[in-house]
Chain A
Amino acid sequence: MNQPDTILDMGRISKAYAGVPALREVSFSCERGKVHALVGENGAGKSTLIKILGGAVQADSGEIRFKGRLFTHLTPRLSLDMGISIIYQELALNPYLTVAENIFLGREPNRAGVIQTRHLRQQAAELLGKLHVQIDPDAPVSELTVAKQQMVEIAKALSRNADLIVMDEPSAILVGEELEQLFKTIQSLVAHGVTIVYISHRLDEVFQIADTITVLKDGAVVGSRPREGLSHRELVQMMVGRSLEEVYPAPIGQRGEPVLVVDKISNARLKNISFTLHAGETLGIAGMVGSGRTELARAIFGADPISSGTITIKGRLVNHASPAHAIRNGMALVPEDRKAQGLFTALPIRQNITLPILNRLTRNGVLQSKRETQVVEDARHKLSISMANADQEAQFLSGGNQQKVVLAKWLETRPSVILMDEPTRGIDIGAKFEIYQLMRHLNEQGVAILMISSELPEVLGMSDRILVMRDGQLVGELPRETATEQAIIERATSGVEVS
């Protein structure tokens, strides 16, 4: 029944959560020793499918054939024992244990319960050597970069003799050359007969690394195609049913008065930063993770203190002491980590949206629920947020809709300056497109946007000007017309050792 080289064959898998179908008769199969990309928008069912494979959740129907054995369902233990390893986005490492201890956690080489430390380190070193990465087996994991932590996860998978490794959005936490290192590792794994399932939003990567690409949409398979002969355009269309044209709406091209003037600000993470943001402009900030981009936004917003320098809004010295202060001065911050900083996941959508403007919605201190409902309904239409109802907890929305809720919250405060830190991280192409259009619309109304992003196409596509940061300093300004990915990367990395 199976072709001899098919290692995994998931057949007609269906799964519903509380009556809502997440997967409908999904069939997915992988060839041994190949890279199989799984793509699709958020909520398409990718994670559910992976969780079923990892035994974390059980399918309602369907079957899984792995290395010739047939299962109706897997348990986490069984899945591991069969040689399936899943590397989730949130890495499952203990930060206080060493690399070697993490790799063999729960399976330490021992004699009568006493861990054989030398063995442990030796075996860990061998595994890391196979991956061609320079990692000290005795280093505590907390001292490693995320890229290296990811390698430790891969080593852990290898130590379990994994035949199939699933990587869930591995590139989301990587930058620049780290990604290339990961690709090299994947290629060497594949050469040794390991099968990789690679989940990603970023289509460029998928084209670079995958042998086969399967597209999921709304819990069903749209298609499964070899990369050869598949065009970028076709893939986007499979995913969203919309063509790639005009993903980045053209900039409005004229800027107004300066609204935000940052003059020589410094703090523990920032050195002497100065720039001016004009009305109606989108100013892009590029740089590696850790270059101080996020810290810059937080300092301007009053979330972190500054030790010297001045911040002026519309000619008025502000130097915000707190976010509340910055908000009163017409500022908004869309933070990088939506769940930890931007959204009350356990609160209803309604309360998320109206929180900063409750003052406007009260009469004699009493909330006017009709007016509140009106505000929420307006926001829902303006940003086309798809939700069951406004009393739904925000955590049940897709990433894109969550981000729209965060944006809706700030738009209600009618800001003149919006700081956006990774505004489209982890959201699907359709919602990205809508957010780009919204940004342009805001620019047209004279709103100034400071956009921090790790996605260079996004920086290049959306920014009027691009500032590049490195080590807490501004190291270059590039006008839209002449900016290239190459120019940004050179400025962002020169002098910095990238491992």
Chain B
Amino acid sequence: MSSISLVQKRPFNSQRFWRQNGRLIAVYGLVVIMALIGVFFTERFLSERNLFNLLRQTAFLGVVALGQMLVVLTAGIDLSIGSLVRVSVLVSAILMSGDSNNTLPAILITLLLGAGIGFVHALLINRLNISPFIVTLASFVILRGVALTISTAPIGKASRETLLFYDQRVGPFSILFLLFVILIVTLIFVLRRTIFGRYVYAVGGNQEVARLAGIPVQRVRYGVYILCSLLASVCGLMWLSRMGVGDPVIADGLELTTITAVIIGGTSLFGGRGGVMGTIGGVLVLALLANLMVLLNVQQQYQGLIEGIVIVSSIALYNQDTH
């Protein structure tokens, strides 16, 4: 995000402010508008239960959207997220099989599996020079097949702790939501204040310039793809805690939803531009949209239409200020 201001005080320049923050303002403006619609046109929007659920829902999409964003910032893409979430929930449910003693090993193995898949993605892109789109498309198909092979019906069982975790609260907030917030803060810090973060933007900004500047382009790629797949496995574990079983039909099309959130949040698909706050804005827009359509009893067949309109108009809105 180019909006960080680390330089000494300088006079406020409204034009620059708009140019640098226009996208963020646009997306959060949309969030506010949708929240207002919820407040004035529905009865249950402000209920404690709805808000609690809404925030918890954002964590599910948010975790994977942030992973996708990291990859997209390097001018890559990860199409395998949905399939990997599915495989993760099945694997962890089977490994746990309702036994508390298995909780920790099952979680660790699942995370290791995710990291390993991310590693393979980066390996193929780095070594064989195959485009990320193709590598992760293949991975999407393979992992979906793996999930179908494992089971077509719910399988395995979460341990008691895992199940209880889902409804755990800290103060008024869901623990899942709070962990999500910690992830957000960490990623903002990593992207803005660490060398790895700078390198992510540099690789996405221009790979050749980065290479000639001595940046370890391949290592950066390992980093983002491993993180992205790791977060997909985390999302799988969250699903396990929610459903209690390994459900083979979850997360259908999730990879596209993450890409949508990333785009709405102003991150460029060509890499090098964008950031965490924008992506979170994109996640909020999509989560609110889903929530409102339920509360407003919008018929299923119109939901896709409305979602499409929101995507196009949110992007049209701030594409104007880039001309």
Contacts and interface: CB of A to CB of B under 8 A. Distances in A.
Given A351-B198, A365-B195, A388-B16, A341 B2 contact: no
A409 B202 contact: no
A317 B276 CA distance: 45
Given A343-B209, A344-B206, A358 B195 contact: yes
A346 interface: yes
A115 interface: no
A366 B186 CA distance: 12
Interface residues of B, number: 32
Contacts of A341: 208-209, 212
A251 to B, nearest CB: 28
Interface stretch (A270-278, A367-375, A428-436): A367-375
B6 A303 contact: no
Interface string B188-232: 000011110010011001101111111110000000000000000
Contacts of B6: 350, 369, 372-373, 391
A427 interface: no
Contact of A340 (B209, B214, B216): B209
Given A367-B195, A372-B6, A393-B2, A347 B201 contact: yes
Given A341-B208, A348-B2, A369-B193, A19 B15 contact: yes
Interface string A235-253: 0000000000000000000
Contacts of A19: 15
B305 interface: no
Given A344-B272, A366-B193, A389-B10, A358 B198 contact: yes
A326 B8 CA distance: 35
A355 interface: yes
A367 B193 contact: yes
A333 B212 contact: yes
B145 to A, nearest CB: 38
A323 B15 contact: no
B5 interface: yes
A346 B213 contact: no
Given A369-B6, A390-B7, A347 B205 contact: yes
Interface string A311-344: 0000000000011101110000101000011111
Contact of A355 (B5, B20, B213): B213
B198 A346 contact: no
Interface string B84-126: 0000000000000000000000000000000000000000000
A300 to B, nearest CB: 13
B4 interface: yes
Interface string A115-157: 0000000000000000000000000000000000000000000
B273 interface: yes
A372 B198 CA distance: 13
A3 to B, nearest CB: 38
Contact of B206 (A18, A340, A373): A340
Contacts of B214: 322-324, 326-328, 356
Interface in A370-397: 372-373, 388-391, 393
A29 interface: no
B195 A323 contact: no
Contact of A323 (B4, B202, B212, B273): B212
A89 interface: no
A344 B195 contact: no
A340 B208 contact: yes
Residue picked from B5, B16, B214, most chain A C-beta under 10 Å: B214
A423 to B, nearest CB: 15
Contacts of B201: 344, 347, 351
Contact of A356 (B205, B213, B272): B213
Contacts of A369: 6, 193
Query: For this complex, into which size category does the number of interface residues on chain A fall?
Result: 35 or more
A389 B7 contact: yes
Contacts of B272: 344, 346-347
A362 interface: yes
B6 to A, nearest CB: 4
Contacts of A365: 194-195
Contact of A347 (B8, B192, B202, B215): B202
Nearest to B16: A388
A355 B212 contact: no
Contacts of A445: none
A324 B209 CA distance: 12
A187 interface: no
A359 interface: yes
Given A341-B208, A346-B273, A362 B7 contact: no
Contacts of B213: 323, 327, 355-356, 409
Contacts of B193: 366-367, 369
A373 B8 CA distance: 9
A98 interface: no
A345 interface: yes
Given A365-B195, A369-B193, A391-B4, A355 B215 contact: yes
Nearest to B321: A18
Contacts of B212: 301, 303, 323, 333, 335, 341-342
Contacts of A372: 6
A354 B6 CA distance: 14
Contact of B5 (A301, A323, A327, A391): A391
Contacts of A366: 193-194
Interface string B160-195: 000000000000000000000000000000001111
Residue picked from B2, B16, B19, most chain A C-beta under 10 Å: B2
14 contacts: A322-B214, A344-B201, A344-B210, A346-B273, A347-B201, A347-B205, A355-B198, A355-B202, A362-B194, A367-B192, A373-B7, A389-B7, A391-B20, A393-B2
Interface of A: 18-19, 301, 303, 322-324, 326-328, 333, 335, 340-348, 350-351, 354-356, 358-359, 362, 365-367, 369, 372-373, 388-391, 393, 409
Given A340-B208, A346-B205, A351-B201, 20 more contacts: A301-B212, A323-B214, A324-B214, A327-B214, A328-B214, A341-B208, A341-B209, A344-B201, A344-B205, A345-B205, A346-B272, A347-B205, A350-B6, A351-B202, A356-B213, A362-B195, A366-B193, A367-B194, A369-B6, A373-B8
- Which 10 residue pairs spanning A and B have beta carbons closest together? A344-B205, A324-B214, A327-B214, A369-B6, A358-B195, A367-B193, A347-B205, A346-B272, A323-B212, A323-B214
